[in-house]
Chain A
Amino acid sequence: MDIFEKMMKLDRRWIFLFLIIVCVVTYAIPFKVPILVEPEVRSIYNFIDSLPPGDIILVAIDYDPNNLAELHPMTYALVEHAWRKKLRVIFTALSQNGPGMAEQAILDISDSLKQDRTFNGVHFKGREIKNGIDYTFLGYKPYYALVILGMGQNFRLPFPTDYYGTPLDSIPMMRGVLNYDQVAGVIDLSGGSITDAWISYGQGRFNFPLALGLTGVMTAQYYPYLGSGQVFGIMGGLLGAAEYEELADNPGRAKDGMRIQLYAHMVIILFIIMGNVGYFAERRRQKREEKGR
């Protein structure tokens, strides 16, 4: 067996071994990989970055633990960025198993805000994030389409109280906040059909700026909404989250994940190329042999 034939008929277990070694090594060694930022993620970052302090955004944490791996990093990167910019955030969790996870994320992000940090050369002083002042967590209500429609009339219709049972009227941040009109924009992070409801019932009816965070599998089918202007930005999967982390100069779990993804992809591509080189060399040799005969 010559080298080309070996390249063509490699035992798949070598591929497995190589893949797992590459994954473990890239996971264990935290080196930096450049991340290419696409315009659809940059527009979300720019949107948040350009809002004046005190503005309100709505972050819909509408995924459940199944999609945590891909969408959680987006929540962390985006909300931390928003709070550093002193924006106020309304959270919803319209997926049944979501609220507990969303609450945990909010508390985690609040913790990281306590430290002084420097992002993109700008120094941010740590501060305490207070429920009711910096954010309101509305929690879960069934029938997400109706909830989205209801919030267009008044947040108090679907959510008379927040997740913790406090009436919205007695939450300082919600004073004078009636519906989407008082919200600068909505960012929906979802791994399912709730996204469609935000586009058709939310953005379609009430015309607020809407950006999406989606799982990798879903991303491609939502690009048309970007073209039609219904959505101003899309973060797709771990890649989108990593791009946001890159923009916000706040490397987190998405960038860790991307490092592995990138090298795993390269391993797979390498093997594909190898197989093809072997295949073509073999074929040429066979042809030559046929001619020689």
Chain B
Amino acid sequence: MAMKRQIPFALVFIFGIFMLFQYFVPHESSEWVYEFLLDWIYIIGILALALGIWSLFRVSVDKIKTKKPNWVYSYVTLMGLFIMTVFGFTAKTGDSWGLYPVFVITFMLALFMLIQVLAKPASRNLYGLFGGAFLLAAVLIAILDRTWGFYFMEAKGLQNSMFRIFFDDVMMPILSTMFALLAFFIASAAYRAFRARNLLASLLLIAALIVMLRFNPYLPYAAYVAKVSNWLMNVPNLAGQRAIVIGIGLGIVATALKVILGIERGYMGKG
């Protein structure tokens, strides 16, 4: 029981207090431990990614297995996951890609079959056979084709042109378009919420309108509006921000202290 409950809180206390007082000790030894601890957090975070990928994989396979709504798209997720992983660990050695496309397709088909084994226990043997065959074919291509290779030892995968092309031409367009949706959403949110319903909403509305009009040259007194909006940003906005920042600072400090002292335990679960 103590191992489950007491030791974690003891660890929190020890490391918390150390980091707290480390700040006041400029000596090399304290700095040294500090740097170590920060590196550790980073490394643990990367190792934990395995948990995340496993969760993503399991949830996707589970969706396919139980035929939840939109289960077909889980194949797309898994395909993206594996194809990008393959690219991250392969690179071409010669001038051409050789049988690389064939390999990628065979490998994907093999994975598809193997997922079917998990998802459709009824026809397990058939899919297992096909999956195994495709996997064997992929492995054979990988061994026999010398124009490209697997790299587990060198970060060549990151320079792999396929890895970069898929990042630039598949991930980036989706990413920047998702980001660009904000332009639309900011418009619809403004339309929906900026109604002078009461005093607070009116203040929100008027302040936003003035600032949005700040560079409209068609407006009479445009220069004046620009000045007012600058002033709004620099005076009331600054005051409000400062009040929030001080509040948040206090909240963070109090919560961190509660965590270190073991008063706040909600994040650790029970039992």
Contact = CB atoms under 8 A, between A and B. Distances in A.
A–B contact with Cβ pairs below 8 Å: the answer is: yes
B226 A16 contact: no
B217 A276 contact: no
B217 A33 contact: yes
Contacts of B27: none
B233 A12 contact: no
B223 A36 contact: yes
Contacts of B223: 36
A217 to B, nearest CB: 11
B270 interface: no
Interface in A208-246: 220, 223-224, 239
Contacts of A10: 191
Interface string A245-288: 00000000000001001101111110110111001100000000
B192 A265 contact: no
A241 B42 CA distance: 40
A275 B191 contact: yes
Interface in B190-215: 190-192, 194-197, 205, 209, 212-213, 215
B186 interface: yes
Interface range on chain B (Cβ under 8 Å from partner): 20 to 34
Contact of A34 (B212, B213, B217, B230): B217
Interface in B211-235: 212-213, 215-218, 222-223, 226, 230, 233-234
B184 interface: yes
A206 to B, nearest CB: 27
Contacts of A272: 190-191, 194, 205, 209
Contacts of A276: 194-196, 205
B195 A15 contact: no
Contacts of A35: 217
A229 to B, nearest CB: 16
Contacts of A20: 184
Contacts of B183: 19, 264
Main secondary structure of the interface of B (DSSP, over half): helix
A15 B230 CA distance: 28
Interface residues of A, number: 31
Nearest to B215: A239
A38 interface: yes
Contact of A15 (B184, B209, B213, B217): B184
Given A268-B186, A268-B212, A275 B197 contact: no
A275 B212 CA distance: 17
A224 B235 CA distance: 10
Given A223-B230, A275-B194, A276-B195, A36 B215 contact: yes
Interface of B: 183-184, 186-188, 190-192, 194-197, 205, 209, 212-213, 215-218, 222-223, 226, 230, 233-234, 237
30 contacts: A12-B188, A12-B192, A15-B184, A20-B184, A36-B217, A36-B223, A220-B230, A220-B233, A224-B234, A239-B215, A261-B215, A262-B216, A262-B217, A264-B183, A265-B213, A268-B186, A268-B187, A268-B191, A269-B209, A271-B190, A271-B191, A272-B194, A272-B209, A274-B191, A276-B195, A276-B196, A276-B205, A279-B195, A279-B196, A279-B197
Interface of A: 10, 12, 15-16, 19-20, 33-36, 38, 220, 223-224, 239, 258, 261-262, 264-269, 271-272, 274-276, 279-280
